[in-house]
Structure 1
Amino acid sequence: MTLPKSRIEELLAPYLSPIPAALLPQLSLYLDLLVKWNSRTNLTAIRSPEEMVQRHFGESLFAAQNLGSLLPETLLDLGSGAGFPGLPIALLYPQIKVTLAESQNKKATFLREVVRTLEIGNVTIWAGRAETMPEDCRFHTVTLRAVDDMAAALKAAGPRALQQIVLLTTGTPDLPDGFLAEESLPIPGSHTGALLRAVRG
């Protein structure tokens, strides 16, 4: 075990409290996999397990709490990387059908391993760019976090999002045509990060 479950719960308290009892063992196992894989393939630049819990798991669960007044039925995590924020959202809300779009093969392979090991039944992985999805693949919500090119990612997100786009960002990006910023919340523990929720106008 990389960190005791009690320590994970303590680190996550600013982002989600209380933590559902069933969620802690899943997050603990996810963290173990992330640390193990990250030691041999670069999934994230963050090396400290405690910082991984705060930055990756915490911020993702903060996003999960702020998906709007009604939970989406479908969600696309665009440029999912090592699964953030999509996988923690899927773990917290098993009723949401989550698709993780990740074009880098090593990261998509890691995502498959997490889904298999944790037996997550509400997640699908698209091992490719979101732009290559069939045109009729659309989702209530699209999430974005720490993508390499936010402008390009937002351009890809617009046609996929039926209702809203949820961003974890440090800037003020230009939203796709037809979307209006509805809510902006500071991310706990971050001096510059914010959660921006934009809805289709």
Structure 2
Amino acid sequence: MSEIEGRAGEDIARRLNRLLAESGQAELDIDIATRFEAYLDLLVRWNARTNLTAIRDEDGILRRHFVESIACAHALPTEIRSLLDLGSGAGFPGIPISLCRPELQVTLAESQGKKAAFLREAVRRLEIPVLVHGSRAETLGRTFDCVALRAVDRMEDAVRAASALVIVGGWLAPLTVESEYGQIRELAGPAFTWNRPVPLPGGDRRVLLLGRREG
């Protein structure tokens, strides 16, 4: 890494940690925060030619995508060991979860080819042990301790698909707005019992929902 690149990485790391502190989240170790800088750089460059996310500026990505996903990583139950990010898109929340919770076996499921290609490049560049599944999650042929989903297309279909991929005793973890809580509970079905919604930073009444699948 050049001296200029090193200074840029430190700047992004400081900005990210400042935003985390402002939102009441624990700051990241500098090596992890600097890896988020590499993720940000890759995302901005790919977003210039591929529609990965509608938020394209650095500050917006840090505030809306990174901080929320990091908060999710910290709020997930400690006992989980495998996690599926269904409809991962640009990698939220799965890639930040992997960076913050390296003990987890993370799978990113993304059926859109260009987005899946970005995810593979991000996993390679960040050197994280994450599997990218470039097809529908239902074709994985396995279940997970936790299935997370955020900003997915066709929420009704996504919640039903995600619910079926959670092991008994595992967790369904949608990142959504508070007003969708009742609908998501109904879509997931009676097999799930729900914790109190966890508020997420960034406003707009964003929450993490945690539903546990009973026997």
What are the Cα deviations for residues 97-151 of structure 1, in whole angstroms up to 9, with x where unaligned?
0000000110100000011111112x101001112222xx110000010101111
Residue 146 (str. 1) matches residue 151 (str. 2): yes
Kept after mapping to 1: 8 A contact 2:68/2:202: no
Gaps of 5+ in 1: none
How many matched pairs? 197
Shift of 1:15: 5.8
Which range moves more in the overlay, 148-157 or 13-22? 13-22
Residues of 2 paired with 1:44 and 1:153: CA distance? 19
Shift of 1:191: 2.6
Considering only CA atoms, is the larger Rg found in Structure 1 or Structure 2? 2
Counterpart of 1:97 in structure 2 is 105
Residue 166 (str. 1) matches residue 173 (str. 2): yes
SS in 2 for 1:4: helix
Residue 61 (str. 1) matches residue 70 (str. 2): yes
Kept after mapping to 2: 8 A contact 1:83/1:111: yes
Shift of 1:167: 1.1
Residues of 2 paired with 1:104 and 1:140: CA distance? 24
Counterpart of 1:183 in structure 2 is 196
- TM-score normalized with structure 2 length: 0.87
Kept after mapping to 2: 8 A contact 1:11/1:50: no
Residues of 1 paired with 2:194 and 2:147: CA distance? 14
Residue 112 (str. 1) matches residue 120 (str. 2): yes
Residues of 1 paired with 2:12 and 2:171: CA distance? 36
Kept after mapping to 2: 8 A contact 1:100/1:124: yes
- 1:76 maps to a residue whose letter is L
SS in 1 for 2:197: strand
- TM-score normalized with structure 1 length: 0.93
Counterpart of 1:31 in structure 2 is 40
SS in 1 for 2:188: coil
- 2:133 maps to a residue whose letter is W
- 2:68 maps to a residue whose letter is E
Residue 43 (str. 1) matches residue 42 (str. 2): no
Counterpart of 2:212 in structure 1 is 199
Report the aligned-residue RMSD.
1.5
SS in 1 for 2:163: helix
Shift of 1:32: 0.3
Residues of 2 paired with 1:105 and 1:125: CA distance? 11
What are the Cα deviations for residues 138-184 of structure 1, in whole angstroms up to 9, with x where unaligned?
10000010101111111101111111111110122234221121130
Corresponding residue to 1:7 among 4, 15, 21: 15
What are the Cα deviations for residues 46-82 of structure 1, in whole angstroms up to 9, with x where unaligned?
02211101111111111111112x2311000000000
Kept after mapping to 2: 8 A contact 1:76/1:101: yes
Q: How does 1:130-145 map to 2 (within 5 A)?
A: 130-134=137-141, 137-145=142-150
Runs of 4+ in 1 over 6 A off after TM superposition: none
In terms of fraction of residues, the more helix-rich structure is: 2
Gaps of 5+ in 2: 1-7
